[in-house]
A and B are shown apart, each in its own frame.
Chain A
């Protein structure tokens, strides 16, 4: 065989090995991280003999912070509810704006939308979360305090939700806009041909046809919101009690982990309980991602 060809084949094989190794490394890292979280996170139940029920549904939070000493309380319901309520409220606040913007930049004014609106929206994504938190702390919290005069100051579920809403806005908007754009022109023509107005076309044909993609955007946004730690912890108040209303402070999973992780004794009950919270976040993210894939495949089957 020709020498040049032999060399090319050898180099091809070498590179193939390098790429396979890189791919495997990533897969292995992900699996390892999952396995590690699963191991660490389950110790609260295995080693410290707490029940899953206690962790998820009770709010007595008094884990012992000494290596090897168990017998405290690990009810994380305050944090779990805090995470869920801020995310859901953020979604409710964000959704009308996000879908409105997506419709605007695809249906109403595609030229301006593509030229200015989409780049502007994408810049939002790249702003570090500490900036959002800083903005929330210095502008939003005082604003809430001055408008509503809550007893505990402006640090609140509402502040956290608004900051999260701003943070997930670009994700939901751009994904929804792509979904709306991919609705075939023939659907619009069909509806216009029946004498529909622009709003009837958008509301009753385009948006329903794009609903799968919009839902994907919502789930992606939720996944970002549930995992956001810094910005939320800066404005939520971090008090370990349920919020009695939207204006009272509370805490959430990510804030608690971020605040206490470094200060707990390795292998202590407190430390293990925080690992369990991290595992819970991981599970929520996986569920959301599986949902996205289910939705995407469901669309294809049609």
Chain B
């Protein structure tokens, strides 16, 4: 298996606060990698390093390297807009733009230069199909996306991310605002998508990590405590802290 993303000696500071300590990780292609850990442990922070969303946070400083297919994304060889097109993101709360379903999905391709109406139509259709929401939405393409249910909105956001043809999909607790049925649909979707994409998912829900991920990383107070095969990490954790967390005897 080849590395899609390689994280080496990554340290991150928010002004004076040292939020991530010396993180090393190999994220492999066509796998689902899950980040788990208590609130404030740094798992979302690390996820946001992978497409440089932390650039938007004032006072954020990063040391070490993150490589995408061998190219350092902080090194200046990769433009941040290209990086974010290759590494897409789905957020904790569904955040469709206040426009029609169609315009939401077409937004990405449009800003990356696709102008042909027919090509846009095709991208919108395939993206919505990939996100398994085409049948629900094909008759409401021109309706406002804000009128959809939470689960539909989140799948629309996944379609929006897929429309720019990314290689990696980052999901930041994508189901934490959704009901169980919508959650299971998103999980099914993630399992289907891993054939074509590399997926990194942050989750509060340990069962979710067990259900869908190949590898899991457990974070605590800014440290990557343990990283390995999901089955192994949950059945035979190497670190005592991991064991205490996954068995609920934490704290």
**Residues of A near any B CB (own CB < 8 A):** 184, 186-197, 200, 204-205, 208-209, 302
Per-residue contact bits, chain B 43-86, to A (CB 8 Å; 1 contact, 0 not): 00000000101001000000000000000000000001111110
A193 to B80, CA, bound (A): 10
Q: Are A195 and B107 in contact (CB under 8 A)?
A: no
Q: Are B53 and A192 in contact (CB under 8 A)?
A: yes
List the A residue with the shortest CB-CB distance to B160.
A194
Top 9 nearest A-B pairs by Cβ distance? A195-B85, A186-B95, A193-B89, A195-B84, A194-B108, A195-B81, A190-B95, A200-B111, A196-B111
Q: A186-B93, A189-B56, A190-B157 are in contact. Are A195 and B111 (CB under 8 A)?
A: yes
Q: Is the interface of A mostly helix, strand, loop or mixed?
A: helix
**Residues of B near any A CB (own CB < 8 A):** 51, 53, 56, 80-85, 88-89, 91, 93, 95-99, 107-108, 110-112, 144, 146, 157, 160-161, 164
Identify A196's interface contact among B53, B81, B161, CB under 8 A: B81
Q: Are B84 and A193 in contact (CB under 8 A)?
A: yes
* A197 contacts across to B, CB distance below 8 A: 81, 111
Give the most central of A184, A190, A192: most B CB within 10 Å: A190
A-B contact pairs, 13 of them (CB 8 A): A184-B95, A189-B56, A189-B91, A190-B97, A191-B107, A192-B84, A193-B84, A194-B88, A194-B111, A195-B82, A195-B112, A196-B108, A197-B81
Q: Are A187 and B98 in contact (CB under 8 A)?
A: yes
A255 to B81, CA, bound (A): 54
Q: Are A193 and B146 in contact (CB under 8 A)?
A: no
Give the most central of A184, A193, A195, A197: most B CB within 10 Å: A193
Q: Are B161 and A193 in contact (CB under 8 A)?
A: yes
* A188 contacts across to B, CB distance below 8 A: 56
List the B residue with the shortest CB-CB distance to A190.
B95
Q: Are B99 and A208 in contact (CB under 8 A)?
A: yes
Q: Are A189 and B95 in contact (CB under 8 A)?
A: yes
A194 to B90, CA, bound (A): 10
A249 to B84, CA, bound (A): 56
List the B residue with the shortest CB-CB distance to A203.
B111
List the A residue with the shortest CB-CB distance to B108.
A194
Q: Are A194 and B164 in contact (CB under 8 A)?
A: yes
A112 to chain B, nearest CB (A): 14
A200 to B96, CA, bound (A): 16
Q: Told that A193-B89, A194-B160, A195-B85 touch, could you supply 9 new A-B pairs with CB distance under 8 A?
A: A190-B160, A191-B107, A192-B84, A193-B51, A193-B84, A195-B81, A195-B84, A195-B108, A208-B98
Q: Are B97 and A187 in contact (CB under 8 A)?
A: yes
A194 to B93, CA, bound (A): 16
B201 to chain A, nearest CB (A): 15
A196 to B95, CA, bound (A): 15
* B51 contacts across to A, CB distance below 8 A: 193
Q: Are B91 and A190 in contact (CB under 8 A)?
A: yes
Give the most central of B91, B107, B144, B164: most A CB within 10 Å: B107
* B95 contacts across to A, CB distance below 8 A: 184, 186-187, 189-190
A302 to B98, CA, bound (A): 9
A188 to B81, CA, bound (A): 14
* B144 contacts across to A, CB distance below 8 A: 302
A188 to B84, CA, bound (A): 13
List the B residue with the shortest CB-CB distance to A111.
B58
List the A residue with the shortest CB-CB distance to B157.
A190
List the B residue with the shortest CB-CB distance to A209.
B98
Q: Are A193 and B97 in contact (CB under 8 A)?
A: no
Q: Are B82 and A193 in contact (CB under 8 A)?
A: no
A195 to B107, CA, bound (A): 10
Q: A192-B53, A193-B161, A204-B111 are in contact. Are A302 and B146 (CB under 8 A)?
A: yes
Q: Are A192 and B164 in contact (CB under 8 A)?
A: no
A189 to B94, CA, bound (A): 11
Q: Are B146 and A204 in contact (CB under 8 A)?
A: no
Q: A194-B84, A194-B88, A302-B146 are in contact. Are A204 and B107 (CB under 8 A)?
A: yes
A200 to B82, CA, bound (A): 14
* A190 contacts across to B, CB distance below 8 A: 91, 95-97, 157, 160
A184 to B91, CA, bound (A): 13
Q: A186-B93, A204-B107 are in contact. Are A193 and B98 (CB under 8 A)?
A: no
